[in-house]
Structure 1
Amino acid sequence: MSSRSPSVIDFDASPEEVAQHLIGVTLLVDGVGGRIVETEAYDRDDPASHSFSGPTSRNASMFGSPGRAYVYRSYGIHWCLNIVCREKGHGAAVLIRAIEPTIGLDRMRERRGLDEARLLCAGPGRVAQALGIDVGFNGKPVDQPPFLLIAPADGEPEVVIDVGPRIGISKANDVPWRFGEKGSRFLSKPFRRAP
């Protein structure tokens, strides 16, 4: 568990740093979204990362400039939103695993076909569906429309972050690069507690 004070995000940093700094940041796409409450980090030397085997047509955005979206389809079904970090050409990104929906709930409910606010964005595929993300967003800078990232306001309490192993992957699933806002009911899955 760690905590951090709100700050401006430097995407030219390690994925573990960026993943933690994104917790508590508001992410909007065309005015719809909410507070990021869960992320996962992926780096080039990480066997679970799409960039592990080098550049391909699918992962080309991961090797682009930091602060751009990397969007891919998971299991041929769900789009997933990542934000590229580290220097251009490195191949690192942060997966947005869950957000607390706060703005545009009616639009998210329509896109997801459900009313339960807690489940609207609890998982990377749900985040993309609720925000209307598809491959057309791949490579777009996240500091320009239709994206908007809003750091927590000065004076807001520190975000306390749970840290644990990544989930939903078969390789390097023991690496503690999953980060989430402690106590958030909007996480995709609870963090495992130490015995």
Structure 2
Amino acid sequence: MEDQSYFFPILDKYFFQQPTLELAVSLLGCVLIKECDEGTAAGMIVETEAYIGPMDRAAHSYNNRRTRRTEVMFHEPGLAYTYVMHTHTLFNVVSGEKGNPEAVLVRAVEPVKGIELMARRRGMPDSANLTNGPGKLTKALGIKMSDYGHSLTEKPLYIAKGMMPDSISSGKRIGIDNSGEAKDYPWRFWITDNPYVSRHQKAVNVITQRIGRQK
């Protein structure tokens, strides 16, 4: 059942100016929303991964690598960084100061609005598999490569203030085994025990006190 209580004001640009690790935590519980002609679809962010470009071998912008794909990462925080991996579009929030290419990957969301639309797009009934992965959630929400560079403080693709989780876990990021020591950084964050998290693993740490959340 859709829960309208999740809908709060759109986050402003100052929210996205937090340090990347803090932003990755603060995004949990916020609501990612995409409006289009078909309707509006939204999901509560339940899992993120932080990528701190210049010193992070797992990041696309490692060593300040500036390409057509990573260009938006060098801009101001709060923009959408979309890219294609294995035919799937993945969605990131640009973070860090301008000129310092960092980003937060949104790995999973819990549907809160437009669930029938999401199920139709995914060609499957409503279940935890609907949006429990970075490629799944973009297809369900209708996020596309054309959203690249869009400000997430403006419609039709934006992030709204949401519900504060009771408990947040952190652990190693997923799918970056060839990134040297970076593969062990505990920069993946998820709402503890949420069924929509893409992959459950043993947590390195459990955070019970939120940091950096806009009041």
TM-score > 0.5, shorter chain as reference:
yes
SS of 2:67's partner is: coil
When normalised by structure 1's length, the TM-score is 0.89
**Are 1:162 and 2:169 counterparts?**
yes
Shift of 1:86: 1.1
Q: Which residue of 2 aligns with 1:181?
A: 191
Shift of 1:79: 0.4
Over the aligned positions, Cα root-mean-square deviation in angstroms equals: 1.5
Counterpart CA distance in 1 for 2:68 and 2:166 is 37
Moved over 6 A (4+): none
Greater helix fraction, Structure 1 or Structure 2: 2
Counterpart CA distance in 1 for 2:119 and 2:129 is 10
| Number of aligned positions between the proteins | 183
Q: Which residue of 1 aligns with 2:150?
A: 140
Counterpart CA distance in 2 for 1:79 and 1:158 is 27
Counterpart CA distance in 2 for 1:34 and 1:158 is 14
Counterpart CA distance in 2 for 1:145 and 1:16 is 25
**Letter of the aligned partner of 1:40 in structure 2?**
E
**Are 1:32 and 2:41 counterparts?**
yes
What do residues 76-102 of structure 1 show as CA deviations (whole Å, max 9, x unaligned)? x11000000111111000000000011
Q: Which residue of 1 aligns with 2:78?
A: 67
Paired residues for 1:16-55 under 5 Å: 16-30=21-35, 31-44=40-53, 45-53=55-63, 54-55=65-66
Match of 1:58 among 69, 92, 103: 69
SS of 1:11's partner is: helix
**Letter of the aligned partner of 1:74 in structure 2?**
M
**Letter of the aligned partner of 1:26 in structure 2?**
V
Shift of 1:10: 2.1
What do residues 113-164 of structure 1 show as CA deviations (whole Å, max 9, x unaligned)? 11132111101001111111111000000010112322136xxx65310000
Percent identity among equivalent residues? 37
SS of 2:176's partner is: coil
Q: Which residue of 1 aligns with 2:8?
A: none
SS of 2:56's partner is: coil
Label 1:149 to 1:193 Cα distance change in 2 as closer, same or farther (>3 A): closer
Q: Which residue of 1 aligns with 2:137?
A: 127
**Letter of the aligned partner of 2:45 in structure 1?**
I
